[in-house]
Amino acid sequence: MHAPFDLINDITEAQTLDAKHQLFAGFMEAEYGYVGVNYGLFLDTRSLHAIHNNHVSKRSGLPDEWREIYQRNNYALDDFGMRMGALTRQPILQSSFYRLLEEGELPGNFARVVCGVRNFVSSGVVLPLYANGVRGIVGLFDPSGDIVKHDARFNRDRSVIQALANHLHLCSDWSAEVVIQMGLSEMNLQVLRLKAQGLRVKEILYEIQRENPKTVDNHMLRVRKALGTRNDMETVQRAAKLGLLKEDGLHAQEVNPQLYDALRLP
């Protein structure tokens, strides 16, 4: 099975997050029929509010109609799949959500989202991800396939699919997306990087040509809210993991040898 290994090399060498996501999504559709491929990053999972408000994502494949319905009805707040992806470590089949819905086991707020997605997705799976201290999620969705056949196929190829998703997460740099989607300014980032260098408030004010000491606190507060952190030390640590300090962040420099076993390669 050389195609998955070729994909790993291609994802590693791709220069942008968009390019990596497109390579992964194209392979998932061609090999497994997953037309919809969502990849997201959780900046904070300490509360349900944080899960849905400190989250950045890339989406492809599902109809624009579903995206409009999702946004119009504010489904993100009650997206059970997203919540489970943030809080668990094991894959969750879409069929398990539908089963809970049919059995009346889902609270109404979750049920409305599952009901909505069922009109556009017949089967799929949610894959929780974790790399370099950062949680992520991949959602793989088939709009029209047979749900029983899908679940059997996923259980058969689970190790390969999971390994590929893990590698995507390991070598993806989300720094630009975090800045854009979380609304961080250049001044926010400049103060953050100066703080990471160990400069004192007076020194930072000199560098940014400001006088009010509260300016530094305000910029760091903005970054903390975006990254879901509690103090400056935690903020600098998470920023480093995300590549916001111009470090490697989530970049992978080589293929993890454990992938050979996961992909059953020689």
pLDDT digits (tens, 9 = 90+) for 143-180: 988 999 999 999 999 999 999 999 999 999 999 999 99
Strand partners, 124: 141
Locate the domains of the chain by residue range.
3-174, 176-241
pLDDT digits (tens, 9 = 90+) for 25-62: 999 999 999 999 999 999 988 888 888 888 899 999 99
The answer on pLDDT for 265 being more than 60 is no
d(CA 135, CA 137): 7
Confidence of residue 2 (pLDDT cuts 50, 70, 90): low
d(CA 180, CA 20): 18
pLDDT digits (tens, 9 = 90+) for 79-110: 999 999 999 999 999 999 999 999 999 999 99
Tell me the whole-structure pTM to 2 decimals. Answer: 0.85
The answer on pLDDT for 261 being more than 80 is no
pLDDT digits (tens, 9 = 90+) for 188-234: 999 999 999 999 999 999 999 998 989 999 999 999 999 989 999 99
Q: Structurally, what CATH architecture does the domain formed by 3-174 represent?
A: 2-Layer Sandwich (3.30)
Tell me which amino acid residue 23 is.
Answer: L
**For residue 158, how many other CB atoms are within 10 A of its CB?**
14
> What is the predicted pLDDT for the residue at 118?
93
Average pLDDT over residues 52-76: 90
Map tokens 């994802």 to a residue: 11
Confidence of residue 256 (pLDDT cuts 50, 70, 90): very low
Confidence of residue 258 (pLDDT cuts 50, 70, 90): very low
> What is the predicted pLDDT for the residue at 249?
37
d(CA 6, CA 11): 9
> What is the predicted pLDDT for the residue at 194?
94
Give the dihedral of Cα atoms 174, 175, 180, 186; nearest 10 deg.
180
Strand partners, 59: 38
Q: Does domain 176-241 have CATH number 1.10.10.10?
A: yes
Q: Which two tokens stand for residue 58?
A: 């890339």
Mapping DSSP onto H, E and C, the string for the chain reads CCHHHHHHHHHHHCCCHHHHHHHHHHHHHHHHCCCEEEEEEECCCCCHHHHHHCEEEEEECCCHHHHHHHHHCCHHHHCHHHHHHHHCCCCEEHHHHHHHHHCCCCCHHHHHHHHHHHCCCCEEEEEEEEECCEEEEEEEEECCCCHHHHHHHHHHHHHHHHHHHHHHHHCCCCHHHHHHHCCCCHHHHHHHHHHHCCCCHHHHHHHHCCCCCHHHHHHHHHHHHHHCCCCHHHHHHHHHHCCCCCCCCCCCCCCCCHHHHHCCCC
